[in-house]
Amino acid sequence: MTVQIAVFIAYFLVVFAIGWISLRKSTTEEDYWIAGGNLGWFTGGATLAATHTSAGTFVGTIGVMYTAGWSFGWVLLSIPLAYWFVAAILAPRFTRVRQLTLPAFMEARYYSKRVRGLAAMIVLVATVVYIQAQIVAGGLVANIVFGIPTRWGMVAFTLVLLAYTVIGGMVAVVYTDAFQLVVMSLGAVLALPLAVRQVDGWGPLFTLVEAAQPTVFQWGTLPATLLFTMGLAFFLGSIATPEKLIRLYAMKDMRTIRRGVFLAVVVVTVLNLLVFLIALTAIVLFPTLPTGDLAMPMVATAVLPPALGAMMLAAITAAMMSTVDSLLIVAGSALSVDLYQNLVDPDASPGRRAFVDRAGIVVVGLVPLLLLLSGVGEGELVQFIVLLFTALMASSFAMPVVGGVLWRRATREGAAAAMVGGVSATFAWDLLGSPAIDPVLPGFLVSCALFVGVSLVTPPPPEAAVSPYFARAGND
């Protein structure tokens, strides 16, 4: 336990140091929200990969595979396809006009402050759902490492995140993400061979897995309709979630974006494969866990040597932190830039803006924690909370963002209808629909129908709104 605590203290000291150094580099709002728009391919790709690799990977994916078997792994094949779509089709037009936030893009393309405000509200609501999943996982890790109650672990995890994110903004997030990606990668690479050794090697592993859980390699553990629609959720979410889209604005040009996205695809794919294999060892070594979300923490504490186990737990923490800090930036900018500065006080002084920027991050970080402490969202598998967030983002923004840069006829009324209808259908299906179909499918279909239908029956958009995205450009 002493070794684990020492490793975590060292890890947090590095994170805080990066945040403090980043404070000196954040001199403008553009620095604070998109790192000045000057990220290179390595830092841009690293922060994109780190943001993608969350508790949903290191805790949630293993949790689902532990519970339902390897069929879930096929869902994640949609992710490389989604990133290809981003780099090849979406980014060349989406990044022609650099914005500070995704809702700011919505205002520019759809010529409406109200559409921007609506997008910001959806970002805030959906982000609360996602951050909850990461805080739950953070509480589990804190309980294992420090022996404190899970609820106090959730509080500590949230406060640490808020501290360095508020201090350094996107600059801090980018460089802590790069550091956290190294920690994640080392943890997974070093943990897998030691975990396999505990089950006497690769040969016996698959036999022992089937003996412990005979259905682990069968398709019937999850309905085919659910697997397909979850894959659709990951695909659409990867091209429409604000924390990923905003990184396209943070990288300096299209060549950088393409190289950065390629790096992210390679890293995410390798990490997912390592996590899949670690999940198999957990099934053999701990066949009766009360929840699959405990599988990875148990591997770290009961299988690995103390120092390496601590690194593995630090990797899990890094995965969570690298996602939540990005979400805090996105949600904080929605509250500060898109709602307060856009609708309440457009003439706010630079000092007041800086204060509201940081206050916005604090607010959106504390709300999910307070909801969890009051019992809202507690007890669900982390990966399914992540999937709900992904479905909300996909049904809200996939059509307005992708359709907005590929279809000139898209109107503000169509975009607003698509966002409201998509979110409403997703929530309704999550509460009342069949569990064999992920909520993303009805949400996305409703969003598509409203986006196209309402756009066609409303006046076409002004040329000034569409021309920046449709004029021919040499880098398309």
Cα Rg of the chain, angstroms: 22
Question: How far is Cα of residue 31 from the mean position of the Cα atoms in its chain?
Answer: 21
Residue 209 lies in a domain: yes
Q: What are phi and psi of 59, to 5 degrees?
A: -115, -50
Per-residue pLDDT tens digits of the chain, which is 476 residues long: 577 778 777 877 887 777 677 666 666 667 766 766 788 898 888 888 877 776 567 766 777 777 777 787 777 778 888 999 999 999 999 999 888 888 999 999 999 999 999 999 888 887 777 777 777 777 877 777 777 888 888 888 788 777 767 765 667 677 777 877 787 788 788 888 888 888 888 888 888 888 888 888 877 777 888 888 888 888 888 888 888 888 888 898 899 999 999 999 998 888 888 888 888 888 888 888 877 767 777 787 777 777 777 777 777 777 667 667 777 777 777 878 888 877 787 777 777 777 777 787 788 788 888 877 877 655 555 556 667 777 888 899 999 999 999 999 999 999 999 999 999 999 899 888 888 898 999 999 999 999 999 999 999 999 999 999 987 654 44
Which DSSP category does 101 fall into?
S
The DSSP line for 3-49 is: HHHHHHHHHHHHHHHHHHHHHHH--SHHHHHHGGG-B-HHHHHHHHH
List C-alpha distances in Å: 341 to 332, 360, 391, 419: 12, 11, 28, 22
Tell me, yes or no, if the pTM score tops 0.85.
no
Q: What is the DSSP letter of 251?
A: B
Range of the domain at 339: 2-382
Assigned domain for 452 exists: no
β-partners of residue 262 are none
Bridge partners of residue 39, in order along the sequence: 251
Tell me, yes or no, whether 396 lies in a domain: no
pLDDT of residue 56: 63
Is 329 part of any domain? yes
> Measuring CA to CA, which residue among 90, 89, 118, 91 is closest to residue 103?
118
Flag whether 83 is in a domain. Answer: yes
For residue 20, what are its two tokens?
Answer: 């403090």
Considering the domain boundaries, does residue 119 fall inside one? yes
pLDDT in tens, 259-300: 999 999 998 888 888 888 888 888 888 888 877 767 777 787
What is the DSSP track for 381-444?
-HHHHHHHHHHHHHHHHHIIIIIHHH-TT--HHHHHHHHHHHHHHHHHHHHHS-TTS-THHHHH
CATH value at residue 315: 1.20.1730.10
pLDDT of residue 475: 47
Does residue 424 sit within a domain?
Answer: no
Q: Is residue 201 part of a domain?
A: yes
Domains contained in the chain, number:
1
> Is 326 in contact with 65 (CB distance < 8 Å)?
no
